[in-house]
Amino acid sequence: MKELRRILSFVRRAVEDYDMIEEGDRIAVGVSGGKDSLTLLAALAGLRRFYPKKFDLVGVTVDLGLPDMDFTPVEDFCRSLDVPFHREVTEISRVVFDTRKESNPCSLCAKMRRGALHAAAKAEGCSKVALGHHFDDAVETFLLNLFFEGRLGSFSPVTYLSQRDLTLIRPMIYAKEKDVAYFARHTALPVVQTTCPEDKATERTRMKELLKELEGRYPGLRHRIFGAMCRAELDGYKRTERLPE
């Protein structure tokens, strides 16, 4: 389908530019149930069919224990792609909201969620974890670090975690959010709406809104910021002429 071909073109370029996949890799795809992670899963399942280096996939969902969240549609989607599914059941939401009563719950939740995902990946025999961060996420993270930490940086396309002996890869760094949203709408992805009380109330959401406003005044701003990150070879980004259009 044409919608998947566009996403696949971005994913394959990123995989090749950053040597994200090697022969025989077993990759855990972090599947939260959101549009980004489901799109990544579909793209990697599509790439697996023709990529010259053979690799296996496992869909891994970290269940935070939030009320009224059913991941059955995600499991069914994995089955339709011939991808094994693992649901890691946790009590992260209870710890964050009830036990710790965190005033800034997102930080602790993210840390615990990462730990659960990495442990589940290792238990599934995976050497790599694929995350659904895309082009817009990279730019937003750069500005969040600049605004709130006073440093130049973003997440890396490829990160090796020596303590876990795991490599994190982000194959969608060339895919824009609008392309991901278009794919999700036109393929009826089984998106699971989060019931987290902090959803849409984060600094990242506010940064997304600020970037949208600035992009309206200065068209192409996101592209120029991402290009600057690549030219500066910031946090593992590479100089390349093949940036998203």
Domains and CATH numbers, the chain: 2-236 (3.40.50.620)
Q: What pLDDT does 241 receive?
A: 65
Q: Which residues contact 82 (CB under 8 A, 6 or more apart)?
A: 45
The arithmetic mean of pLDDT across residues 148-160, rounded, is 96
* pLDDT of 97 strictly over 80: yes
Q: What pLDDT does 244 receive?
A: 62
Q: What pLDDT does 190 receive?
A: 94
Q: What pLDDT does 124 receive?
A: 97
Q: Cα separation of 225 and 14, whole Å?
A: 18
By the 8 A CB rule, do 19 and 49 touch?
A: no
Cα R_g (the chain), whole angstroms: 18
pTM for this model (two decimals):
0.94
Average model confidence (pLDDT) across the chain? 93
Q: What is the pLDDT of residues 33-80, one digit of tens each?
A: 999 999 999 999 999 999 999 999 999 999 998 898 999 999 999 999
